[in-house]
């Protein structure tokens, strides 16, 4: 899949390149087994080769991510607890239960973390819509994560496009480190919130004296 995408995108330029990057990112948002980093990096490589514009490619990458995620969020809002037939293989009851538990433990910030977790990304955005998360909050968290991935991957492809395989290997390693760091940050945040809640909780009142 990786080699096929690299060859496919590497042979495009201009509007065709922008359209193909957008479509691939949109399809990845629907849960298809397509890596999100490769079209973004290859978009940067095309800029490096003079076949695309840097700022246009960054905008296309961002929009492809956000629109795909927003559609999945809207489907979750539309169907509530019911999963459309085409998505049942991706959004399984087991995955939904896992994501709902993550929502309960970590709150809506899980939307940001899901950007770097391909296995649960689609399920998370669908669940965000079905559990009643406001679209404004979803856009804020999702945009923060998208702005931490789309421009960075495109720029990396632009500057280091001469050695794609080495670059993709480093990105994969870096993504693992990002995931670990995010998980640690969430756990620390949860522990701090619990400590603050206990600290600020009013002391237990003494029981009323027994009537004599």
Measuring CA to CA, how many Å separate 6 from each of 45, 49, 59, 139, 200? 10, 14, 20, 30, 55
Q: Is 144 helix (H, G, I), strand (E, B) or coil?
A: helix
Q: Output 57-62 pairs: Cβ under 8 A, ≥24 positions apart.
A: 57/17, 57/18, 57/21, 57/154, 58/150, 58/151, 58/154, 58/155, 60/18, 60/21, 60/22, 61/21, 61/25, 61/150, 61/151, 61/153, 61/154, 62/146, 62/147, 62/150, 62/151
In the numeric block, the tokens 């929009």 are attached to 63
pTM over 0.85: no
**Each residue's pLDDT tens digit, 92-146:** 777 777 777 777 777 777 888 777 766 678 888 888 888 788 899 899 888 988 8
**Each residue's pLDDT tens digit, 146-193:** 888 888 888 888 887 666 666 666 666 555 555 455 455 555 555 666
């Amino acid at each position: 899949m990786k080699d096929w995408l690299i060859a496919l995108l590497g042979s495009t330029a201009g509007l065709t390149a922008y359209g193909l990057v957008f479509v691939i990112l949109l399809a990845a948002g629907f849960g298809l087994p397509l890596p999100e980093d490769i079209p973004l990096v290859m978009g940067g490589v095309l800029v490096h080769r003079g076949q695309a514009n840097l700022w246009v490619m960054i905008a296309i990458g961002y929009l492809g991510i956000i629109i795909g995620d927003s559609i999945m969020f809207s489907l979750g809002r539309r169907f509530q607890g019911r999963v459309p037939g085409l998505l049942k293989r991706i959004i399984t009851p087991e995955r939904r239960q896992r994501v709902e538990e993550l929502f309960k433990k970590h709150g809506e910030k899980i939307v940001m973390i899901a950007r770097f977790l391909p296995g649960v990304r689609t399920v998370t955005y669908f669940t965000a819509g079905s559990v009643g998360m406001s679209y404004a909050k979803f856009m804020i968290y999702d945009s923060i994560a998208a702005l931490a991935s789309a421009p960075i991957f495109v720029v990396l492809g632009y500057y280091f496009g001469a050695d794609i395989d080495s670059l993709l290997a480093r990105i994969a390693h870096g993504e693992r480190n990002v995931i670990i760091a995010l998980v640690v940050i969430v756990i620390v945040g949860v522990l701090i919130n619990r400590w603050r809640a206990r600290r600020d909780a009013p002391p237990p009142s003494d029981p009323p004296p027994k009537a004599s």
